[in-house]
Structure 1
């Protein structure tokens, strides 16, 4: 499949990127071309300095995980090399999205399984339709996790609950997913697109560099001791304070007005 047909990326002039999985008839299963298309999308967002990313999946389900139909056509060394190619592209896409300043909003509906959980968990704000359900699925077919699932789940829901989900593959409805911290909040299925767009637009208008610093601080907080982490916080805060957005934020607060964090238009 042509990469452009598996993932559609639209980047508006105002800095909002919409990345959509387009294999709705296949549950947006991730085959090699889709993984590579996601990497292309991430790199395009990186090149264009986007201000916010909205990730969606077309059709009834957000993403059912890897494309087992594609995988089943291979065996032995060929299958191993194929899976390494899929995960190399998918994982580099996740690393690229994590490294840019722009926050990501994911809107998920229907079945979310396997690598689909990794994509949903990688977002900074994950909105779930009330019809969404989550299943790890990996060990059910004799596989182990990819797409950062074994990294994200323990951090979001705790190691004991993560192992419960990964080993038993039990289905987690949207309400429980919100209760345990797997998603940010649940919205009515009919309002999912609207709420995701509203949230992404609010982030697009925000202080992008401060968002990036905040994302990195939260991510590193799980692996860095308190002392070094406090030093990182101090450096990040000092840099933010002297930036254009930092000065604008304080000025707006003191003037009791809404801050304007968007870049000024170029001079004529």
Structure 2
């Protein structure tokens, strides 16, 4: 599958869906077109059984500055609430669907990641950043409360106090700080970013897809689940996945000291 839009590109090859934000002249600022494109892509990937991993990138000098403030500033005051609400709703629907995908998601970021664009990091399992990347919310500086799931995801990722610091003090993190705080997974050189992220996506795409999908589901539900109920769900999941072809073959490979070959089923 290959899809192309003015704002977002998506290709699927060898089990990997590669999504590229494609508004480099606008620093990949997010508008209604981006939100709609991401939602459409998330819907298609939900139903594409050939996809075993997702890789998200941004074209141009930065990953994304978040919402396209130029669009907001040029919108009539009386139309702005509806414009922002409609865009945020569609973007949040897209993020929710990406979070529920039953395949691992990798995100490679560079330059800058700001505002609502952080939502794409939140729904990713592995986030790789080039060493000079900057991270910021910046909502207060434009008089907004924020979007991209930030008020839900960020305290869970980095803690309430640090999240408040980013919100209220407009703190800017460098890549090393972002890794230390738990916002991203690791930092690599700019030269290695694309190759490193692609390598991770390929490795995940060749892994036990159904097990990975169940891991994602358990992680997602753990934030609000009651402990004993969650342990019961974990018990049911491990029993269910133990019956998959991949698990059966992996058990045998372990005994024979061979590397398992997973088919994603």
Q: Once the 2 structures are TM-superposed, how far is the Cα of residue 76 of structure 1 from its aligned partner?
A: 3.9
SS in structure 2 at match of 1:62? coil
Shift of 1:77: 4.1
After superposition, the C-alpha distances for 1:68-121 in whole angstroms (9 at most, x for unaligned) are: 111112234411111121112111111111112111100000111001212122
Map of 1:119 onto structure 2 = 120
TM-score by length of 1: 0.94
- Aligned 1:215-226 pairs, distance under 5 A: 215-226=216-227
SS in structure 2 opposite 1:72? helix
- In the other structure, the counterpart of 1:247 is 248
Q: CA deviation at 1:25?
A: 1.3
Deviation of residue 263 (structure 1)? 5.3
Moved over 3 A (4+): none
Give the match for residue 180 of structure 2: 179
Give the number of equivalent residue pairs.
Answer: 262
For residues 135 and 63 of structure 2, the distance between their equivalents in structure 1, rounded to whole angstroms, comes to 10
**What pairs with 1:150-169 in structure 2 (closer than 5 Å)?**
150-169=151-170
Q: Take 2:83 and 2:175, find their aligned partners in 1: how far apart are those partners?
A: 33
Cα distance in 1 between the residues matched to 2:22 and 2:35:
12
After TM superposition, the structure 1 = structure 2 runs for residues 1-268 of structure 1, keeping only pairs within 5 Å, are 4-12=5-13, 14-49=14-49, 50-262=51-263
CA drift of 1:228 comes to 0.5
In the alignment, structure 1 segments of 5+ residues that lack a partner are none
* Paired residue secondary structure (1:131): coil
Counterparts of 2:90 and 2:191 in 1: how far apart (Å)?
33
